[in-house]
Structures are given as C-alpha cells and as structure tokens.
Amino acid sequence: MESRGLGVLGNVSPYILLDHKGHQQSENCTFWNTRRPPCERKPHLSSKSLWRANCLTTFVIFRIATLAIFLPVAVLNGQLQSEQSVKDPSVGVVAAPTKHLETVDEGNSTTLLSQAVPDNSTPQLVGGTPLVLTLADAIAMAEKNSPRLHEATAVTQRAVAARRAAQAYTNPSFEVFEGEQYAKPISTPGVPGLLQHYAGYQTIEIPSERHARQQGAQFVISSSRSGEQAINLSVVSQAEHAFYSALRRREAIQHAEENLKLVQDLLRRVQVEVDVGEKGGLELTRAQAEVARATFTVRSAQLEYANAIATLRVAVAAPAEANLDPRGEFEPRQQLPPLQEVRERVLGTHPAIAQTQADIEAARASLRRERALRIPQPTAFAEYENQPDLSFWRAGFTIPLPLWDRRQGQIGEATAAIAQSSAILDQRRLELISATERAYEQYQLADQQATSLEAGSLRAAESAVEAAKSAYRFGERGILEVLDAQRVLQSVRGDLLDAQYARQSAQVDLEELGAIARGAKH
C-alpha cells in the first residue's frame, strides 16, 4: 500500500515522498524561489508514486486552507485589541511596545501589516495608582503648594514686619562711668576718692517724619498684598490652562484611536477582498499606508499628552511620584458683556493696578519723609556726676546743623521713584487693555468657530463617512473615497477640539483679568 506525507509550511518546506517500497524520498520545494522546484523536475520518482500533483497546485491549496483557519483568529484578535485601546486612556509616560501582525501575502514576499501597531495605544501608568484630579483639586493643590505663592506670602510678611519697625520709637542711650581720684603731692592737692558719672540720651523724632514713615510702610503692605493677589490669579490661571490642555490632549488621543480602529477594520476587509480577488493590490497598499499614518497620529497624541501632564505637574506643584489623572470637561459657552464694560471692570478691579497705585503712594510718602528729615532732630540728654568733694547734674539738647547735607540726593531719588511708579501704572493699564481685548476677541471668534463646527461641519463629515462606508460595502465606491471622508472627519474633529480649547483658554484669561466672575467650580 502506498502513502505520502506533507511537511510543515515554512520558508523552505520539505515534501516527504514514499515510493512503492515504502522508502522515504525528500524533495525541498522552495516556495519563495521563482525557479522551478525540484519536485516538478521529478528526476528519480517512481512510476508508482502517488505524488503526482503539481507543487504549485499543492502550495495554493495549502495556503487557502491556512488563510481560512488563521484569518478569523487574526480578525477577532484585532477587534479585542481595538476595544481594549478605546476604553479609558490612562495617565503616564507613553512607553507602549509594538508588535507586528503577520499575514503572508502570496502576491509578493512582504508581510500584510508591516506597520508597527500599538500593543495598547493608551498611555501607560508609571509609578502606581493614578491620582484622579478634578479642576477644583488642581486649583487647591496649586494654591497650597505653589512656590510663587509662598514667595508672595513671605514678601507680605516682610512688609508687615517693616511696618512694626516703622512704628517703633528710637531707643534711648544710657552711660555709666566710674573711677578713682588720686591726690598729687602739691601744695593744694585734690581730695582722693571715688568718681561716678551717669548720663542718658533720647533722640526726639520729628512728628511729620514719623507719620510719613508709617504711611510709607502701610502702603508697602498694600502693594505686597495686591501683588500676592495678582500672583494667586496667575497661579490659578496657569493651573487651569494646564488642566484644560491635558483634557484636550486626552480627547485627541481618543479621536486618534477611533480613527486607527476604523482604518484597521477597513484594512482587514480590504485584505479579505484582495485574497478572494475582488480588489487589487493597490487598495491594500493604500489601506496599509493609512494604518501607518493613523498609528503615527496616535503616538504623536500620546506624546503631547505626556508633555501636558508634565506641564500640569509643574503648574499644580504636584509630587514627582504622583500619577496625575485629570478628569473633567470644557465649560459651556457664556454670553460676555460689552467690551467697554469689560475694559472698565478690568481697570477698576485688577490687583496689578492696585499694586502700582500703592507703589506710587509709598513713593510719595518716602518723599515726604525725606523732606521732613531736613529738619534737625534734637537729642535730649541729662547727666549726673559724683566726685569725692562735690557732685553736680546737668541737662540739655544737641542739635545737628544741616550745613553740608540737606538730603538733596534722597529727595531727588524719591521724586524719581514717583515718576517711575506712575510710568509703570500707565504701562500696566496699556497691557491690561491689550490683554482684555485680545482675550475678548479670541473668545468671540473661538465660540463662533466651535458653534459652527458643532452645528454643521461635524455632522456633515460624520454623515459623509457613513455614506462612503456604505457605498464601499456595496461596491459603489473605492477605498480612496472612504479614506478621504475619514480624513475630513478627523480634521473637523481636530478643528472643533482646538476651537473649544481656544474658547476655554480665553475664558480663563478673562477670569484672570477680572473681566468675568469665576464659575462655581472654584
């Protein structure tokens, strides 16, 4: 009885042949070689051998059987990976490994999916359990841990201490001398004995100088507190910007993963159609290129998200080991008051204006103090002296004469400080007006763009994708139309996300300027 065996497929697959006597004959049939395989030449096959099928026919039959077995498994595996990748993007550094989906293409000696697809396209956690961070939590953490706020608080404390120093009176001075008096061998010697001397001094302050000094210290406190408020607004604004930027990047990852899932499904369909001969190899090449492009987009979005998390960590002064997981959404649009009203509100309430005005008043108080210091400050003294043969006391005043120094330099410096503070005030007003108008216009334009995209372009792009996919399934359109429609949808989604973030960013700027009240989130 004759029989024959078939080896395992590989780059080089041995065919084991048995002749009519049961002896094994091995012929190596190299599938990837364009030359005629040895089995087709049959130089030494027996006439009774059952191996009469052509090698190419056997190869085609075996490949069709292999494709029928492994293709459903590959499709199911891809669907499970896609579902896992869109569940919930985690926070962390993007370090996902890559893998190759290998399916042999018999048309050419290349793999079907040579692109490196993410094993898990969501960002991976680094360190441990993620720290869920809402906007209120981020603001509270920034206000508690920000070094800038700590520095501003220390500046205010220094100003308060300086006021206490300005309120203090000059300390008196007290002298004590003691010695011995000796008699000399002369005709009328003095009386020997103990010598004692006591004296006290007290500088008398000029009332106008003391009042100006105290006023200047009080204005410095007001300036420091206004500066602390301005820094607090800046810290909160930076935390909000970083928080919303992280939300934006997270949303971009979700959009990119949805796009990747769609093109991967499309690629699998094209592969099946190419295998059965319904489509040409060009369709498969286009699908493979689109998968590579979508994979790169996912990686880029993950990198941007990692950068946004690093910026958020700095903005809220979070510990280095904390895995931040920001959760929230963009705020809904709101109706802004007229620009003139907004401008007046900013100039009337912003801490930077109050700080500069306090600096001007402090400089004026310093000028008044320098002028008051031209009046000589007398020093009252009293002393008592006890000698062996007599004792006496005396009291009086010492007054410095302003002959050489009339404090002209100090007065000129204080005058220049007033002019400098006034110029700073004018500059601050110009900057605030410019920032207010820029944020106001940015909010209006971004709001119009977001509203337009939400109402028209986004829905039209989604409908176009569904229509193109349906037409492709029925054979009315090619893959190029589907890919073009998907690119348009992805572009519209990106534009909408950018517009929403620009609107939210402008709203944060307006809140920092004091143009609009902060919401209930604070």
Cβ–Cβ under 8 Å, residues 504 and 442 = no
Q: b/e map of 302-312 (b: 16 or more CB within 10 Å)?
A: bebbbebbebb
- Give me the helices (H) in 373-457, please: 408-452
Give the three-state DSSP class for 447. helix
- Determine the pLDDT at residue 42: 43
* Rounded Cα gap, residues 324 and 310, in angstroms: 9
DSSP character for 206? Answer: P
* Rounded Cα gap, residues 418 and 413, in angstroms: 9
* Rounded Cα gap, residues 295 and 98, in angstroms: 11
Cβ–Cβ under 8 Å, residues 497 and 252 = yes
- Determine the pLDDT at residue 115: 41
- Determine the pLDDT at residue 97: 35
**Total Cβ atoms within 10 A of residue 317:** 18
* Rounded Cα gap, residues 281 and 194, in angstroms: 123
Beta bridge partners of 25: 17
* Rounded Cα gap, residues 279 and 18, in angstroms: 41
Beta bridge partners of 7: none
HEC string for 121-162: CCCCCCCCCEEEECHHHHHHHHHHHCHHHHHHHHHHHHHHHH
* Rounded Cα gap, residues 215 and 86, in angstroms: 63
- Determine the pLDDT at residue 156: 95
What residue segments make up the domains of the chain, in order of their start?
A: 1-52, 57-163+234-329
Cβ–Cβ under 8 Å, residues 147 and 317 = yes
pLDDT in tens, the chain (522 residues): 434 433 333 333 443 444 444 444 444 444 344 444 444 444 444 444 434 445 555 655 666 666 656 555 555 565 555 445 434 444 333 333 333 333 334 333 333 343 434 444 445 445 567 888 999 999 999 999 999 999 999 999 999 999 999 999 999 999 999 999 888 888 877 788 899 999 999 999 999 999 999 999 999 999 999 999 999 999 999 999 999 999 999 999 999 998 898 888 888 888 887 888 777 788 788 888 889 989 999 999 999 999 999 999 999 999 888 889 999 999 988 889 999 999 999 999 999 999 999 999 999 999 999 999 999 999 999 999 998 888 999 999 999 998 888 889 999 999 999 999 999 999 999 999 999 999 999 999 999 999 988 888 888 888 888 888 788 777 777 777 777 888 888 888 899 999 999 999 999 999 999 988 876 444
* Rounded Cα gap, residues 292 and 295, in angstroms: 5
| Continuous segment of H or E residues that includes residue 398 | strand 391-398
| Contacts for 184-190: CB closer than 8 Å, 24+ residues apart | 190/388, 190/389
Cβ–Cβ under 8 Å, residues 200 and 383 = yes
Identify residue 366 by its one-letter amino acid code: S
- Determine the pLDDT at residue 500: 93
- Determine the pLDDT at residue 356: 95
Percent helix / strand / coil, the chain, rounded to 5: 60, 15, 25
- Determine the pLDDT at residue 52: 44
Handedness of CA 70, 73, 75, 78 (dihedral sign): negative
Identify residue 406 by its one-letter amino acid code: R
Instruction: Give the closest residue to 289 by CA, choosing from 304, 267, 322, 311.
Output: 267
- Determine the pLDDT at residue 448: 92
Within its chain, how far is the Cα of 403 from the centroid?
62
DSSP, residue by residue, 86-122: TS-PPPS-----EEEEEEE-SSSSSEEEEEEEESS-S
Cβ–Cβ under 8 Å, residues 483 and 286 = yes
Cβ–Cβ under 8 Å, residues 187 and 259 = no
Beta bridge partners of 176: 198
- Determine the pLDDT at residue 111: 39
The pTM assigned to this predicted structure is 0.68
* Rounded Cα gap, residues 154 and 206, in angstroms: 31
* Rounded Cα gap, residues 55 and 21, in angstroms: 23
